[in-house]
Amino acid sequence: MRVDYRKLGQIALNPAYRNQPAKDTSDVLANYLYLMSNLNADVDAWSASEMAMITNSLNRWQDKKTHVYSQNVSVGDILMVDFGLRYAPELSYGHPALVLETWNNLMFVIPATSSSSKLAQSYHPTDNPSGKWYYRKVGASDGFAHDCVLIINNAKTISKTSILSPMGKLTCNLQDETQLFREVKNTLLEHLFHREWAANQNLIHAYDKLQTDFNTLKNAKDAAEAKIHELEQQIKNLQPKSIDNQSK
């Protein structure tokens, strides 16, 4: 059975249907039943694991979709998150995630996976410096439960309501440019927002050059002022004594 996407799209965009119960709209109800029939037909092809994850995600969404997460969430937190049903290659269902930013009931996160194939390809400054930039290996020393991979190019904004449980916090200094958090954030900016990142780097280099030029000029100014002071003292010492002083 085929779901009529066109018809459903028209109904979804029509303001007249926004307050009308779905059960009283035959086209919507019929297509919903088509969907259920199609899902039931696919069940035989799903593994028990996938079926369990799909059921959990759908049930959580149905139960919590309008809830507001009340606990505090901070930058650098590591959380277990339900990413729901996503299109490949996005991660779906429950995965750890690193919080990069928060706004009200939203947060910007990088999901993580313990996939062995991704671990083998992942970048690490000492374990695998030639690994792929968008896979960053992290482990227990960083605050995670075990070795896993941050999927940097899967970063996304999601609702805090999708949080399943807190898992911990990054162990590094969040402000230190040489440590994990800033490294991951800079990698994301460099590759996903390359033009803006390059423009910012150019500004940083220009600022550094101006600062160097300023320091050079300041040193020259200080040296010139010291020389002027020295010459003034020499001139003062060369001035003839007054007549009164000479007659004494």
User: What percent of the chain stands above pLDDT 90?
Assistant: 78
Evaluate if residue 215 carries a pLDDT over 60.
yes
Q: What CA–CA distance (Å, rounded) separates 114 from 96?
A: 9
Give the residue-averaged pLDDT of 161-178.
95
Determine phi and psi for 236, rounding to 5 degrees: -60, -40
At 43, the pLDDT band (50, 70, 90 cuts) reads confident
DSSP state, 177? T
In which band, very low, low, confident or very high, does the pLDDT at 5 lie, cut at 50, 70 and 90? very high
Q: Left if phi > 0, otherwise alpha if psi is -120 to 50, otherwise beta: which for 239? A: beta
- pLDDT higher than threshold 70 for residue 4: yes
Tokens read off for 132: 């792929």
Q: What average pLDDT does the structure give for the chain?
A: 92
Quick check: 241 pLDDT over 70?
no
Residue 192 has a pLDDT of: 92
- Whole-angstrom distance between the N-terminal and C-terminal Cα of the chain? 125
How many other C-beta atoms lie within 10 A of the C-beta of residue 61?
14
In this predicted structure, the answer to whether residue 77 has a pLDDT above a threshold of 60 is yes
Average pLDDT on 43-68 reads 90
Q: Express as a percent the part of the chain with pLDDT over 70.
A: 97
Could you tell me where the DSSP H helices lie in the chain?
5-13, 26-42, 48-64, 116-121, 180-192, 194-238, 243-247
pLDDT at position 42: 87
CA angle 100, 193, 74 (to 5 degrees): 5
> CA 143 from chain center: how many Å?
17
> What CA–CA distance (Å, rounded) separates 55 from 154?
23
Reported confidence tier of residue 246, pLDDT bands at 50, 70, 90:
low
**Residue 54, token pair as written in the block:** 């799909």
Confidence of residue 248 (pLDDT cuts 50, 70, 90): low
pLDDT interval class at 126 (50, 70, 90): very high
The pLDDT score that the predictor gives to residue 135 is: 98
The two structure tokens encoding residue 137: 């290996």
- Higher-pLDDT residue of 97, 232: 97
pLDDT for residue 82 is more than 70: yes
